Amino acid sequence: EVFFKCENFQKIGAFKARGAVHAVKNLLPEQLKNGVATHSSGNHAQALAYAANLVGCKAYIVMPKNSAQVKMQGVKRLGAEVIECDNNLEARESTLNEVVKKTGAFFIPPFDHEWIIAGQGTAAKELIEEIPGLDFIVAPCGGGGLLSGTALTAHIMNKEIKVIGAEPENVGDAAISFKTGNIEKNDPAKSTIADGLRTSLGEITIKCIREHVNQILTVSENEIIEAMKIIWSHLKITAEPSSVVPLAVLLKNKDLFKGKRTGIIISGGNVDFASIPFLSA
């Protein structure tokens, strides 16, 4: 049996709204007075813009120039100021530092923060409460905020639940980090259709994941595309490539999940239609 937690129906179309709202709600008025800032290639950008709009403060979002247009447009629609930068982590961080220095805005990290992880974990909390007797939960892994929150929540609520991370093999840094204990980086020359999972783990998330996650499994680009076709055609919902990676993992490892009750977190539905092979062909 397979059960889907559909975060594509969440505010801003992705689970990231949970962590961003939780973080912003924890800030004191004096911390909010100059606004909030972050760097993100997509859903966290929209999530923080939404959270800032919710409490009435300014949001400054640093986004790489190669960010999906649907996500960049979504950030702007929510009233945030977008500052574009080059397509690498160093450029994102240096540009963000300039923005924070200039504006005095409070930095809300995309994933490597306790407030963010706790917020993301509420998706798993609801899944466990709604579906009794789960054997597995499979969640996608980029920076590790959702996977960390999922694993911590499962560990607290029911230690019998095994938590599996799902990652594209082209950017399989988390799977390697899980084994080595070090934060590994992806080869910049490699790409994936699951653009939201290109980020490497952080200092906090790698510790959570190595302690509470059972394993991280990877899938090919073709396997991701086939899983996306299945979700779109059979579930009749719009799911972005990053969010279908858990289903791809399940389909690739059927023996592992055979006879088990498995929860899959569909992390978001913000799709850049031009990037989907079976739509643009």
Question: Hunting for tokens 């952080």 — which residue is that?
Answer: 202
Q: Which of 127, 197, 195 is nearest to 157 (CA)?
A: 127
- Do 163 and 196 share a structural domain? yes
- Do 128 and 92 share a structural domain? no
Q: CB-based contacts of 173: which residues, under 8 Å, 6+ apart?
A: 167, 183, 184, 185, 186, 200, 201
- Do 133 and 225 share a structural domain? yes
- Do 85 and 50 share a structural domain? yes
The CATH number assigned to the domain holding 139 equals 3.40.50.1100
Full pLDDT tens readout for the chain, 281 residues:
999 999 999 999 999 999 999 999 999 999 999 999 999 877 899 999 999 999 999 999 999 888 877 778 889 999 999 999 998 878 989 999 999 999 999 999 999 999 999 999 999 999 999 999 999 999 999 999 999 999 999 999 999 999 999 999 999 999 999 999 999 998 888 999 998 898 899 999 999 999 999 999 999 999 999 999 999 999 999 999 999 999 999 999 999 999 999 999 999 998 877 778 877 65
Per DSSP, the residues of 104-161 read -PEE--SSSSHHHHHHHHHHHHHHHHHSTT--EEEEE-SSSHHHHHHHHHHHHH-TT-
Q: Give me the pLDDT at residue 39, please.
A: 92
Q: Give me the pLDDT at residue 138, please.
A: 99
Q: Give me the pLDDT at residue 227, please.
A: 97
Number of structural domains in the chain: 2
Which among 88, 107, 126 is the end of a domain? 107
166: β partners: 140, 217
Q: Give me the pLDDT at residue 276, please.
A: 82
By DSSP bridging, strand 59-64 and strand 2-6 are unpaired
**C-beta separation of 55 from 32 below 8 A:** yes
Which among 87, 107, 127 is the end of a domain? 107
Which residue blocks in 158-257 are alpha helix, DSSP H? 173-180, 203-212, 221-230, 241-252, 254-257
- Do 201 and 173 share a structural domain? yes
- Measured CA to CA in angstroms, residue 141 lies from 53, 77, 169, 197, 266 at distances of 27, 27, 11, 6, 12
Q: Give me the pLDDT at residue 80, please.
A: 96
Calculate the CA dihedral of residues 244, 249, 254, 257 and round it to 10 degrees: -90
- Do 148 and 63 share a structural domain? no
- Do 153 and 87 share a structural domain? no
- Do 9 and 22 share a structural domain? no
Q: Give me the pLDDT at residue 280, please.
A: 62
Q: Which of 23, 26, 68 is nearest to 47 (CA)?
A: 23
User: Helix-strand-coil percent breakdown of the chain, rounded to 5?
Assistant: 55, 15, 30
- Do 124 and 51 share a structural domain? no
- Do 143 and 256 share a structural domain? yes
Residue 74 lies in domain: 16-107
Can you give the pTM of this predicted structure? 0.92
Q: Give me the pLDDT at residue 281, please.
A: 54
- Do 211 and 118 share a structural domain? yes
- Do 216 and 127 share a structural domain? yes
Q: In whole angstroms, give the CA distance from residue 142 to residue 131.
A: 25
Which among 107, 139, 165 is the end of a domain? 107
